[in-house]
Amino acid sequence: MADGKTKRAEHRAARVKLSDVAAASGVHYSTVSRVLRPGAKGRISDDVAERVRSVAKELGYHPNSIAASLRTQSTRSIGLIVHDMNDPVYPPILSGIEDALSPQGFAVLVSNTGYDLNVELDIVNRMAARLVDGIFLATTRLQDPVVERCQELGIPLVSVLRQTEQETSPAVVNDCYGGMRVMTEHVLASGFRDIAVILAPQYLSTARERWHGIKDTLDQAGVALPDHRIVAVPRMSVKEGKRATETLLTAGESRPDVIICVNDLVAIGAIRACREVGLSIPSDVSITGYNDIPLLDMINPALTTVRMQLHEIGKAAGQVMLAQFEGQPVTPMTQRVGCALLVRGSLGQKSESQPT
Amino acid sequence: MADGKTKRAEHRAARVKLSDVAAASGVHYSTVSRVLRPGAKGRISDDVAERVRSVAKELGYHPNSIAASLRTQSTRSIGLIVHDMNDPVYPPILSGIEDALSPQGFAVLVSNTGYDLNVELDIVNRMAARLVDGIFLATTRLQDPVVERCQELGIPLVSVLRQTEQETSPAVVNDCYGGMRVMTEHVLASGFRDIAVILAPQYLSTARERWHGIKDTLDQAGVALPDHRIVAVPRMSVKEGKRATETLLTAGESRPDVIICVNDLVAIGAIRACREVGLSIPSDVSITGYNDIPLLDMINPALTTVRMQLHEIGKAAGQVMLAQFEGQPVTPMTQRVGCALLVRGSLGQKSESQPT
DNA sequence: TTGTATGCGTTATCAT
DNA sequence: ATGATAACGCATACAA
């Protein structure tokens, strides 16, 4: 019946620990501990070390990291909090983090908030109870109670993708302002002047930076962006992008020539909306995204977007975390990783129009 | 300098524990433990319980789960081992697992193997050292040393997506045989007779079941499948799918009418390969996939595929794990979740051909 | 170089 | 109903 449980218990009971190795080696278990853990102070004679090591291997000794954690107050585990792993921006970040931390023996606890702040705070509390050594927060808001909570708890924190207004914790982000400037400049260079934008909530640094990148570029070029050409989505999803586009297409007396979307999923939604009403892209309306999630080059038309270095962002975040563990000063507080414009079919050219 | 560390240490030192609550409540800490932990045996007087509880809240007591784990030999954490989270089939599985286990207070440790067996065994050892309560294995092979290792270690295991030959551990999988039968029947019903297939390594139950689904259906229909119409990829990726398709298109004297791909990523690769040599889909060659990863309906042409219920598979796996923890007998050993054919543009019709 | 002893914060088994 | 106490397995200051 409770076979698994029983076997588990058996195993547990049979599990070889330091004292077992010590007994079999004829030394005290503290000696075994020193031998097996490189970096333990106090040197050991070579013959003892060798004997202990071979006995340990023979017996199949594996340290119980829970016990070690209780003693050292370090679990060598870190949390990664994201809105939803199903958003394709997150898996590469996880990979990057693993690349940086796995070799150091860290494990990654992944939690999805489902976009719910209370869930998120709860997750932090639970991770704190588990004594995670640090937390990667991919949900960081410009004013963020979660960041504050982590600081109250004294948990080392590294924000990924986003940063707080006051840059209150180390963060590794994409240069969204620069990326969106380049994108917008390219849109202008392609001849477009009647531009619409789909923005995301401005409490996210990514969304705000991208918006400023657009706005500044347009302002400097003297291109107007009327209110009815601006829509904000509550969430960067396909569904919301579609809905926002429907709004855009029916607002004002004419439709815009191009829609600059805050990210790829929203842009996908925009494409869907256009298709549904029979608009062809890019001849009727051009569309741009941001992120370069997979398969974007396969859709019709291929989406013009900005390629973020998500894996690198994750990896850099991991390295910042390690530096923090070692007490190194974090500088700069916000590390920006570059990105690149990818021009593809979804952005056309406004050839027939002449500036007045 | 080591500000984070110092603060952390401060916090750690300041962390309120059972004995603090006990002192402030004027009771013994074992009493506090009983009060705070529902399910502790021995009843407590209401007034004491209330007092302790309020003091605990006031002091901001949070149990140290590491200490509890050392004592109970249960960490309420479980591992999820996948080849690579960047494969879009895994995130929904993670979500499903979280849905099932998060409410029960479990945390999920995610690890990518990078398709490396040695890495995978190492991950298992490390998870064992962390005393995870169980492991979800998404990499299960028909003969699997990793499964054996988990069993040696006495770690409760639930396979997801795949199963071993002897069904040696509980598993929740897709009905790949049935799904691929339906797909193949539809291909036949669409008039195709010159069929090619791209298979995956047969040490994976998914790959083998899908292959049998194809083969049995063709055999029963009396449709031949010559060797030069069969290619196996070493990995189910876009890159390998593309390469395999290039092989298929140049093998034999003519090209096949349709390519049945073992999964979506491979099918994407197939589409790429066809595009590169100027073949149009589906008029020159039809292509089918399997999985229904996101955005497949956006590509040109939209990919005909089989929709798996990945989230449900993850959730069911979580429930199986919970049942196992409670010592309930697992039955059946392999739970199969249904799937549905999605017919889209990438599969055409062979109208002109007349059966001889 | 190695052994001794204590504590990490709980849970659980004794008493009382 | 509550208190005392012994593990859990390891790390480490201190002794030898």
Same structural domain for residues B88 and B164?
yes
B14 pLDDT tier (thresholds 50, 70, 90) = low
List the structure tokens of B353. 């051909």
> Does A105 sit within 8 Å of B126, measured CB to CB?
yes
Indicate the DSSP class of residue A238. Answer: H
Residue A9 CB lies within 7 Å of the nucleic strand D = no
In a domain, A350, yes or no: no
**Nearest-CA residue of chain A relative to B85?**
A91
Q: Do A95 and B77 touch (CB under 8 A)?
A: no
CA distance A327 to A329: 6
B347: in domain: no
In a domain, A344, yes or no: no
Return d(Cα A92, Cα A80) in angstroms, integer.
13
Given a cut of 50, whether residue A47 has pLDDT beyond it is: yes
Mind listing the pLDDT tens digit for each residue in B285-302?
Answer: 999 999 999 999 999 899
B-chain CB neighbours of A268 within 8 Å are 295, 298
- Is strand C within 7 Å of residue A48 (CB)? yes
Same domain, A168 and A193: no
Whole-angstrom Cα distance, residue A265 to residue A246? 15
Residues B163 and B200 in one domain: no
- Which one is predicted more confidently, A6 or B293? B293
pLDDT range class, residue B252, cuts 50, 70, 90: confident
**Backbone phi, psi, residue A321, to 5°:** -60, -45
Question: Is residue A353 predicted with pLDDT exceeding 70?
Answer: no
Cβ–Cβ of B64/A110 closer than 8 Å? no
Domain range enclosing A199: 176-308
A86-90, A128-132, B40-44, B128-132: least confidently modelled range: B40-44
Query: Which residue in A295, A296, A320 has the most chain B C-beta atoms within 10 A of its own C-beta, making it the best mutation to test that interface?
Result: A295
Write down how long chain A is. Answer: 356
Supply the pLDDT for residue A13: 45
Residue A110 lies in a domain: yes
pLDDT at A238 over 60: yes
**pLDDT (tens digit, 9 = 90+) per residue, B274-286?**
999 999 999 999 9
What does the alpha-carbon distance between residue A116 and residue A109 come to, in Å, rounded to a whole number? 18
Q: What is the mean pLDDT of residues B184-212?
A: 98
Nearest to A73 among B1, B12, B90 (CB): B12
User: pLDDT tier at A2 (50, 70, 90 boundaries)?
Assistant: very low
Question: Which of B94, B123, B124, B346 best probes binding to A when mutated, by most A CB atoms within 10 angstroms?
Answer: B94
Q: B296 and B205: one domain?
A: yes
In a domain, residue B333? The reply is: yes
User: What is the per-residue pLDDT for A350?
Assistant: 86
| Arithmetic mean of pLDDT over chain A | 93
Quick: pLDDT tens for A302-312: 999 999 999 99
CA–CA min distance B213, chain A (Å): 28
CB count in 10 Å sphere of residue A15 = 17
List the structure tokens of A116. 């719910």
Nucleic acid strand C within 7 Å of B72 CB = yes
Q: In what order do the strands lie in the sheet with B157-161?
A: A334-337, A171-174, A157-161, A134-137, A77-82, A107-112, B107-112, B77-82, B134-137, B157-161, B171-174, B334-337
| Residue A107 to chain B, least CA–CA distance (Å) | 7
Question: Could you check: is the Cβ of residue B28 within 7 Å of any atom of nucleic acid strand D?
Answer: yes
Is A327 within 8 Å of B300 when comparing Cβ atoms? no
CA of residue B46 to C1' of nucleotide C8, angstroms: 31
Both B296 and B250 in one domain: the answer is yes
Task: Tell me the average pLDDT across B317-328.
Answer: 94
Find chain A residues with C-beta within 8 A of B128's C-beta: 62
Contact by Cβ (8 Å): A94, A160? no
Q: Is the pLDDT of residue A4 over 50?
A: no
Residue B123 lies in a domain: yes
Q: Are residues B161 and B192 in the same domain?
A: no
B5 burial (CB, 10 Å; 0-12 / 13-18 / 19+) is middle
The answer to whether A77 contacts B110, with C-beta atoms less than 8 Å apart, is no
3-state secondary structure (DSSP) of residue A226 = coil
**Can you give A98-140 as a three-state secondary structure string?**
HHHHHHHCCEEEEEECCCCHHHHHHHHHHHHHCCCCEEEECCC
Residues B183 and B291 in one domain: yes
| Nucleotide with the nearest C1' to A44 CA | C1
Residues A300 and A215 in one domain: yes
pLDDT (tens digit per residue) in B79-93 = 999 999 999 999 999
Q: What is the mean pLDDT of residues A140-167?
A: 96
Alpha-carbon gap: A334 to the closest alpha carbon of chain B (Å): 16
Examine the pLDDT at A356 and tell me if it is beyond 80: no
Query: Domain total for chain A?
Result: 3
b/e string for A132-154 if b means 16 or more Cβ within 10 A? bbbbbbbbbbbebebbebbbebb
> How high is the mean pLDDT of chain B?
93
Region at B159 (left for phi over 0; alpha for psi -120 to 50; beta for the rest): beta
Q: Which helix (H) or strand (E) holds A35?
A: helix A29-36
Contact status, residue A89 vs residue A114, Cβ threshold 8 Å: no
The confidence score (pLDDT) of residue A37 equals 87
**What span, in angstroms and rounded, lies between the C-alpha atoms of A161 and A83?**
12
pLDDT in tens, B137-194: 999 999 999 999 999 889 999 999 999 999 999 999 999 999 999 999 999 999 999 9
Q: Which chain C positions have some atom within 7 A of a protein CB?
A: 1-5, 7-15
Q: Give the residue, A340 or B129, on which the prediction is more confident.
A: A340
Quickly tell me which residue has 């270690």 as its tokens: B153
Instruction: Give the chain B residue nearest A310 (alpha carbons).
Output: B86
Strands B195-199 and A157-161 turn out to be unpaired
In a domain, residue A353? The reply is no
Q: Any idea which residue has 């500036």 for tokens?
A: A355
| Interface touch B65/A300, C-beta < 8 Å | no
Q: Which of A66, A94, A128 sits opposite B85 (nearest CB)?
A: A94
Q: Do B109 and A108 touch (CB under 8 A)?
A: yes
Measured between CA atoms, the residue of chain B closest to residue A10 is: B154
**CB contact at 8 A, A259 and A270:** yes
Residue B9 confidence (pLDDT) above 80: no
pLDDT class of B5 with cuts at 50, 70, 90: very low
Distance C2 C1' – A13 CA (angstroms): 28
Nearest CA in chain B to A331: B1
One domain for residues B286 and B215: yes
Residues 6+ apart with CB under 8 A from B34: B40, B42, B44
Give the count of beta carbons closer than 10 Å to the beta carbon of residue B40.
13
Nearest nt to the B42 alpha carbon by C1': D1
Q: What is the CATH number of the domain that holds A46?
A: 1.10.260.40
Same domain, B182 and B304: yes
Is residue B267 domain-resident? yes
Tell which phi-psi region holds residue B209, choosing left (phi > 0), alpha (psi between -120 and 50) or beta.
alpha
Same domain, A299 and A228: yes
Question: CA quadruple A244, A246, A247, A249: dihedral positive or negative?
Answer: positive
pLDDT, position A237:
97
pLDDT at A352: 61
Minimal C-alpha gap between A53 and chain B (Å): 18
pLDDT at residue B3 is higher than 50: no
Nucleotide nearest B31 (Cα, C1'): D2
CB-CB neighbors (< 8 A) of A96 in chain B: none
Instruction: Take residue A108 and report the two structure tokens written for it.
Output: 């990654």
Residues 61-90 (A) near nucleic chain D, CB < 7 A: 63-64, 67-68, 70-72
Which nucleotides of strand D lie under 7 Å from a protein CB?
1-5, 7-15
Q: How confident is the model at residue A262 (pLDDT cuts 50, 70, 90)?
A: very high
Least confident window among A104-113, B11-20, B155-164, B317-326: B11-20
* Residue A101 shares a structural domain with residue A246: no
A167: domain CATH number is 3.40.50.2300
pLDDT interval class at A14 (50, 70, 90):
low
- Tokens 């955005």 belong to B295
